[in-house]
């Protein structure tokens, strides 16, 4: 076997082992978090503090971007609909896209960049400065101490923020529909919720829940495995955001396929 071929096989083997290690570490963290929650080892004060970070401190960012995003969707959808005289369906498009897709995905993207990066940086700094080792020395599980409150807060706050994002996207579409398309309020909201079903709402909230789990577990994992000083913390932060966004899109694809196409 030629040297180049052996080098290629070695590289593929290292990649495969790294992927297996990554998936296994994610699964291990998730199992530890679930066991801690089921056995009642959730600390209330850190949980409330994390709820404030995920919810209160992220509120205005999510609210403003969701409102303008709803306006953008309304304007983009109105352009082709005008050609067929279907402007009244703008509200339907805005509402269905927000509830099914854009609400949970937009919130997940914003919180992956805002909160996920902070989680990776916080835990990564603790790992580099040996605070994680100190917790282990004191017989304190770092996952239970650091990750569980963040996990519980994400599971609670992402669905709440998604509901708010859905409402504000619809409001943004309402502003465009009533000011530029001459739709009256009753017609707009009749068409907006005419085709929305409880299934759509529940699947949107399920997506938000799963996206929150992904963001916290991936960000915590990257922080816990950070190494190499300040550069390592920066790398962990970048990887946390990139991997979280990638996994959110993949999870979104799988959930949509399961509930709407299969």
User: Global pTM?
Assistant: 0.92
What is the tens place of the pLDDT at every residue in 211-224?
A: 999 999 999 999 99
Transcribe 124-137 into DSSP letters.
HHHHHTTHHHHHHH
* Residue 14: per-residue pLDDT: 83
* Residue 126: per-residue pLDDT: 92
DSSP-assigned letter for residue 1: -
- Residue 135 to residues 31, 144, 190, 195, 220: CA-CA distances in angstroms? 19, 11, 56, 52, 15
> In terms of pLDDT, which residue wins out, 246 or 85?
246
* Residue 123: per-residue pLDDT: 94
What is the tens place of the pLDDT at every residue in 138-189?
A: 888 899 999 999 999 999 999 999 999 999 999 999 999 888 888 888 888 8
What are the residue ranges spanned by the domains of the chain? 44-261
* Residue 184: per-residue pLDDT: 87
């Amino acid at each position: 076997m030629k040297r180049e071929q052996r080098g290629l096989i070695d590289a593929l083997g290292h990649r495969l082992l790294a992927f297996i290690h990554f998936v296994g570490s994610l699964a291990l963290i998730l199992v530890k978090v679930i066991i801690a929650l089921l056995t009642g080892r959730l600390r209330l004060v850190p949980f409330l503090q994390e709820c404030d970070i995920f919810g209160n401190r992220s509120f205005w960012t999510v609210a403003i971007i969701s409102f303008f995003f709803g306006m953008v969707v309304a304007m983009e959808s109105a352009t082709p609909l005008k050609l067929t005289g279907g402007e009244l369906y703008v509200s339907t498009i805005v509402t269905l896209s927000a509830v099914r897709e854009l609400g949970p995905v937009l919130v997940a993207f914003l919180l992956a960049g805002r909160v996920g990066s902070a989680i990776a940086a916080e835990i990564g700094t603790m790992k580099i400065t040996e605070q994680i080792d100190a917790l282990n020395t004191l017989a304190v599980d770092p996952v239970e101490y650091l990750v569980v409150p963040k996990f519980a807060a994400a599971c609670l706050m992402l669905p709440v923020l998604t509901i708010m994002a859905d409402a504000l996207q619809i409001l943004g579409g309402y502003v465009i529909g009533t000011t530029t398309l001459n739709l009256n309020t009753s017609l707009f909201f009749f068409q907006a919720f005419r085709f929305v079903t409880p299934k759509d709402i529940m699947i949107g909230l399920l997506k938000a829940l799963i996206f929150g789990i992904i963001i916290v577990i991936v960000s915590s994992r990257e922080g816990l495995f950070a190494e190499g000083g300040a550069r390592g913390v920066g790398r962990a932060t970048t990887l946390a955001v990139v991997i979280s966004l990638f996994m959110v899109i993949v999870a979104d694809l799988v959930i949509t396929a399961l509930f709407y196409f299969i």
